[in-house]
Chains A and B, each alone.
Chain A
Amino acid sequence: MDNLVYQPLPGRGFGLFRRDRVWLAEDHLLSVRSSRFVDIYERFYFRDIHGIHFRERAGEYWMILIAFLLPCHALVALSILHHWAWGIPLAPLGAWTLTYALFGSQAECQVQTSLGLHPVPAISRRPSYDALREKLFPRIEAAQAELEMQPASTVPPPLNVPLPRIMPAVIPEPNRGWYFEGAFSIVALAAIFSLWNQRGIHGVAFDWLEYGLSLATFVSMLVALARAYRVDVGGGVLACLWSIIVTQAIYGSGMAIAASVQNTIARPSRSLDHHPIRVLPDLLFYSTAADAVCITAAVVGTILIMARKKRQLE
């Protein structure tokens, strides 16, 4: 048992079955990763800490886009579709927007020691990092006061010892952001389909809104893929081609779903009301060969791109 006095620092890990916290003691920082049933402790003594690093993800671009899409979808859902259930797909995005507005973008914090980088999952937002910075940095500086702030490159190594070893290489985490961006684009396209489904009912303004949203979504997909690649021209061209195919595939399947639903509404005795499974033949009927080719190409392209990224990371 440690007879230590720990002071809790603000910041909690995000998750239903996670309760990550950071505690401050007199001479060390205690990071606790917890699944509520099991606690895992990591202690970082002030004299051993080489650096504290904080990275806040760039979420504001998507935030702006979501903040634009959410009211549009809510407007359509309430005024035209007359059912609140159409808003359900965008509820997670609304929650994300609210969290972002209140606490800032999601971030990661890592402590650097001579062994490498150690993630501190409890520090996942900017306010908690600011609190950590305010309370922890002076203590580390005081603990390391006797060490001179002198670059090692200017210190000649002793003759009888090996050269100072370079810090362990850190393999960058795979950029999982593009999966979320892809998922976001698909949800955004779903919002467009809800407009598309109403084509012919509304006027010119909604047509323009629909085209604008389509264009914004398409551009956002291109940007997301370009960001995910950022390697070479060939990758960029492939990304553009892939996004066109995926967009066409989603549009095609969406049109098929819309046509199928409209057909079911027009002839309810034939489909959903009695035999929900019969909507599937309708879908196949309304899908074109081009849609099928695009969907197949999108799936294959996605697998190829993921394999390529995996090879790049290796």
Chain B
Amino acid sequence: MVVSVANPTVVACLGCGSSLPSAEVASENGTRCLRCRSLQRGRLFPAAFRPPAVMSAPPIQQANEAACFHHSTKRASVACDHCGRFLCSLCQFAVGAQNLCPACIDMARDEANGRWVARRMNLDTVALATATLPIFGLWTTLVGAPAAIYLGLRALRQAPGPLPRGRWRSIVAIALGAIQVLIWAIFLLTAFGTALFRGGRLG
């Protein structure tokens, strides 16, 4: 369902696109689309009816003022926190506490859906999977156990994300990796160590 500023009393069904009265959609129980029979609920907020803000940047008044990278006649107000280019107020995008330029925002866009997204790899989950899944292959733990220890240590030093997340995955991954390495060490020493030591003494 999306509203057009040209006709705010009508909204479009999310499923089939047919028109629905926005007042009924915003009601407690919503309304049913007559075409696709789906139940539509929702709410439009004052921001939807706000005309788009018109912005302008002040021009350069003096010769020693810095110019915007994209608009040579406009006065720069900030520098991009990512690439350092000077930006006027038209080109400046405030993203959280940072000021970014359009080019840096485009670089951060998700290629799949074109949205600006923030990603974070959960190294602790990767470490835990690396410590547990190779157990089913047995021999694969030869590679998996050291990798799990490495990834677990990296996960402990990884910058925390925006959401609360415990450290138990990293600790369990490191412990499991260490146990697997220990078992492999005992196995290798038992299988080949005796012969090596005996060979050393005989030699």
Contact = CB atoms under 8 A, between A and B. Distances in A.
Interface in B1-39: 1-9, 11-17, 30, 32, 35-39
A113 B48 CA distance: 8
B160 A152 contact: no
Contacts of A118: 115
Interface of A: 1-2, 4, 6, 23, 30, 32, 34, 36-43, 47-58, 61, 105, 107-108, 110, 112, 114, 116-118, 129, 133, 137, 140-141, 144, 147-153, 155, 157-158, 161, 164-167, 170, 172-173, 175, 227, 230
A54 B52 contact: no
B51 A157 contact: yes
B50 A152 contact: yes
B203 to A, nearest CB: 50
A51 B42 contact: yes
Contact of B51 (A42, A54, A110, A152): A152
A36 B42 contact: no
Contact of A50 (B48, B51, B163): B48
B40 interface: yes
B17 to A, nearest CB: 5
**Of A50, A56, A105, A167, most B-chain CB atoms within 10 Å:** A50
Contacts of A39: 119-122, 161, 163
A155 B162 CA distance: 40
Contact of B117 (A4, A41, A230): A41
Nearest to A115: B115
B41 A172 contact: no
B147 interface: no
**Chain B: interface residue count, which band?**
35 or more
Contact of B45 (A49, A61, A107): A49
Contacts of B3: 50-51, 112, 167
Given A39-B119, A141-B45, A165 B6 contact: no
B164 interface: yes
Contacts of A2: 96, 162
Contacts of A107: 39
Contacts of A40: 110, 117-119
Given A50-B47, A51-B43, A41 B120 contact: yes
A51 B44 contact: yes
Contacts of A170: 2, 12, 17
B45 A36 contact: no
Contacts of A165: 5, 52
Contact of B38 (A1, A56, A167): A56
A198 B3 CA distance: 56
Contact of A144 (B13, B41, B46): B46
B63 interface: no
Interface string B117-147: 1111110011001000000000000000000
A172 B45 contact: no
A108 B110 CA distance: 22
Contacts of B30: 54
A37 B124 CA distance: 9
Contacts of B118: 40-42
Closest 5 pairs between A and B when the two form their complex, measured CB to CB: A147-B46, A58-B37, A50-B48, A53-B42, A56-B39
B202 interface: no
A70 to B, nearest CB: 22
B122 A37 contact: yes
A133 B3 CA distance: 19
B121 to A, nearest CB: 5
Given A55-B39, A166-B4, 4 more contacts: A6-B162, A37-B126, A40-B118, A53-B14
B159 interface: yes
B118 to A, nearest CB: 4
Nearest to B15: A55
Nearest to B25: A53
Contacts of B11: 53
A148 B32 CA distance: 29
B2 A37 contact: no
B8 A167 contact: no
A105 B37 CA distance: 12
B54 interface: yes
Contact of B1 (A30, A37, A53, A147): A53
Nearest to B129: A37
